[in-house]
A and B are shown apart, each in its own frame.
Chain A
Amino acid sequence: MPTKSWLGTFITRNGYLLGGYIILAVLVWILLVIVLPQIAMLDFSFRFDLPPYKQGGPEDVYTLSNYRYFLLGYPGNPDGYNYVDLAVFGRTFIAAIFVTILDLILCYPIAFYLAQVAKGRLARVLGVALIVPYWINEILRAFAFRVIFGASGIINSILIGVGIIDSPIDFVRENVALYAGLTYAYVLLMVFPIYNAIESLDPNQIEAARDMGAPWWRIHWRVVIPFAKPGITSGCTIVFMLAAGALAAPQILGGPSSLWFTQIIYRTFFESVNWSRGAAYAVILLVICTLFVLLMMRIFRVKLGEIGR
């Protein structure tokens, strides 16, 4: 379709004022707010970290050194690889997958229950109970977990009081607090897409499967889960991306020996004040996580257009 005729119909349909507003706003949004900043970040990541007076000078050339640093460390690194950053990245990645799986296991039943079983007032009350915690600030939710899992927190007090342990367990050091906090933070984001998907499933399909003698787990495996696959993928994608990109929860709940990759980016920016390397690390985080999500969608045969509905 030629652009001009499309623009023509667009203007006849919306008028100059309204059509102009729509086009202008979308252009501003896509270019100035979404795309160009990403390109600027990509551009920064391929440059040396130069003081302002050298920028644009002869030394301001493109380089892969920031990415090389992520893989190999500083030049002449005797270890061969930058094990510290690579290990942190790997751990963040695996922990994010772990949190996603945990959330899926935790949330699938409640999504099914709310969508197919609960009726009337009970469903509404449960829905509100689900949403209210999500309205509380992310920081405050992390704080709550810090209070609970602290050395003199309620869990240690109970465990000691009952006599299971006699000295407090350092849940923060063991990262239990972090995983619990992250799982907690994204519960609603997992429940909601799955709920939306399952809600549109005709209850007669479940009924039919049951009439034909399928046990409950096979009903889920063969009927509900295949139907809800776009919702499940959508929920898993959101939770994975947000968990891998989380900053507040690891800062508050993370143990001292286990950094989150975002914390490394944060430090590169604010403590080493190396914007180029920070940009490169941000690009690495974004690109690898996105590729992983796309790969998973390929493996589970979900199309991009199906999710996010």
Chain B
Amino acid sequence: MKLLTRLAVVAYLLLFFGFLLGPLIIMSITAFNSSTFPRVVPWECLTFEWFTRLANDTRVIQGLEFTAVIGVFVVVLSLLLGLAGALLLTQIFPRARAAYYTIVTSPILMPGIVIGIATVLFWDRVAHFVGAGRDSVFYHGVFLTVLGQSSFIASYCMLVFISRLQRFDEGQIEAALDLGATHVQAFRKVLLPFLRPAIFSAAVVAFLASFENYNTSVFTLGHFSTFTVVIAQKVRFGLDPSISALSVIIITATLFLALLNEAYSTHAERHPGNPLRSVFRGGVSGFFAGNPAAFLALLMLAGIVATTVYATRYDPTRCKAEVLRRKLEIQERYARPTSPQRATPPAAAPGGQAPTPPRQDGFGGAFNPQNLQIAPAPSAAPAPAPTPPPPRQDGFGGVFNPQNLQIAPAPAPTPPAKP
């Protein structure tokens, strides 16, 4: 019985973490497959080209720049608002405290698109009120996005500050004031140092939340695009392994930082006082002894360096030529019986007419109508443009889908004719 319970627990844990980590692992593997559609099977060639493609994607790079700018503004604004919110919570009169707490935490629960819409509409009204035009700051994507994101990110920051402030002894401030410090001095010399770890973690949380925000930003950005919005557009309009490559970079960075953090906190536990200095004083061996996370981090760093070096020397052209040859063979075999005149240059067969197997054809599923909007046309075949779009979510968000037509009615007062 006891054994059975243990087995059940282990099985559950495996399933749970399989669900949690499996998708990320599979996605990461697809970044190294040369197939133009991100997948693990059938495996074609090991390649690093998707990373190159990603690095050359100017929209992604530009999105990253906007994300960084917006992120910095959001961090600063959210820290200021969140800190003030947390400081006021302990001091506001008790009867108002519950209502106050509800208001300042409500943005966390509010759907992101509601926040985005409300922000756009409100500043539109303000612009009207002061008579500002369309090119004024009130319609500027960065301005609106920073405010929209800060409304709930400030709440995150506030929660971080509150949990730290709960352990603060108010007597310290009073003592400082009694000893003749001004309020600002007491704040700077007593409260701020105490809050430093909370400021750091709130800033990290704020930046990450800003970085990955989509729902609010997509309404407030206007014609700008942040990194996340660019990625979302890419994913909506076609699956591309360079997105997998991006995920690999983010996952690796996250994992590395998590390991580093773990290594550091293990170290800090053993060396209370000034852990950072003892890293340098105690030497490298002292840092790694009995600290598996540090060891893993080092191993990971070595792995990253080795992979990068290998990637610069590795050349998949031969393997890819071989895969292409095999694809053409398959294509030829299927093409010959029905249309022999097209068999010699199989690449010339128009996309829509080639009698290809229903799935997993040699062209990475490009002829599969279900993948039409997903896989970019492979270099060996002409773009299958003449085929009519299949009746599913097309590249235009399904607006051409007859089932969806009735949802977006004409804004004119005259009703559109119902089919």
Question: Which A positions have Cβ atoms within 8 angstroms of B?
Answer: 1, 6, 10, 13-19, 21-26, 28-30, 32-41, 43-44, 49, 55-56, 74-79, 84-85, 88, 106, 109-110, 113, 117, 124, 126, 128-133, 135-148, 150-154, 157, 161, 167-168, 170, 172-173, 184, 187, 237-238, 241-242, 244-248, 251-252, 254-257, 259, 262, 264-269, 271-275, 278-279, 282, 285-286, 289-290, 293, 304-305, 308
Contact = CB atoms under 8 A, between A and B. Distances in A.
A256 B187 CA distance: 56
Contacts of A279: 117, 121
Contacts of B13: 110, 113, 126
A38 B148 CA distance: 12
Nearest to A268: B408
B195 to A, nearest CB: 13
B47 interface: no
A106 to B, nearest CB: 7
A26 B214 contact: no
Given A135-B208, A267-B408, A246 B215 contact: yes
B215 A140 contact: no
Contacts of B121: 37, 40-41, 44, 275, 279
Interface stretch (B54-62, B90-98, B297-305): B90-98
B262 A128 contact: yes
A306 to B, nearest CB: 11
B118 A144 contact: no
Given A37-B121, A272-B410, 13 more contacts: A15-B182, A41-B117, A43-B125, A110-B16, A117-B9, A152-B371, A154-B41, A184-B19, A242-B111, A248-B214, A248-B232, A256-B391, A289-B111
Nearest to A161: B41
A37 B118 contact: yes
Interface in B38-96: 38-41, 80-81, 83-85, 87-88, 91, 93, 95
B359 A34 contact: no
B346 interface: no
Contact of A29 (B20, B81, B101, B108): B81
A106 B219 CA distance: 33
Q: Is the interface of A mostly helix, strand, loop or mixed?
A: helix
B276 interface: no
A30 B104 contact: yes
Interface string B93-124: 10100100111111111111111011101101
Contacts of A55: 128
A147 B403 CA distance: 25
Contact of B39 (A78, A129, A150, A168): A150
B335 interface: no
Nearest to B244: A147
Contacts, number: 305
A34 B374 CA distance: 39
Given A15-B183, A130-B20, A251-B232, A41 B122 contact: yes
Interface residues of B, number: 111
Contacts of B175: none
Nearest to A44: B121
B21 A247 contact: no
Contact of B88 (A15, A22, A74, A265): A22
Nearest to A248: B214
Interface string B160-191: 00000000000000000000001110010000
Greatest chain A CB density within 10 A among B85, B214, B368 is at: B214
B359 A152 contact: yes
Contact of B184 (A10, A15, A56, A237): A15
A253 B406 CA distance: 21
A152 B151 contact: no
Nearest to B240: A143
A168 B358 CA distance: 10
B407 A150 contact: no
Contact of B118 (A41, A133, A254, A265): A41
Given A29-B84, A168-B359, A247-B112, A74 B103 contact: no
Contact of A286 (B111, B254, B255, B409): B111
Contacts of B84: 21-26, 29
Contacts of B22: 148
A147 B228 contact: no
A85 B9 CA distance: 44
B96 to A, nearest CB: 9
Interface stretch (B23-31, B279-287, B347-355): B23-31
B81 A25 contact: yes
Contacts of A172: 393
A85 B404 CA distance: 11
Interface in B331-384: 358-360, 365, 368, 370-371, 374
Contacts of A21: 84
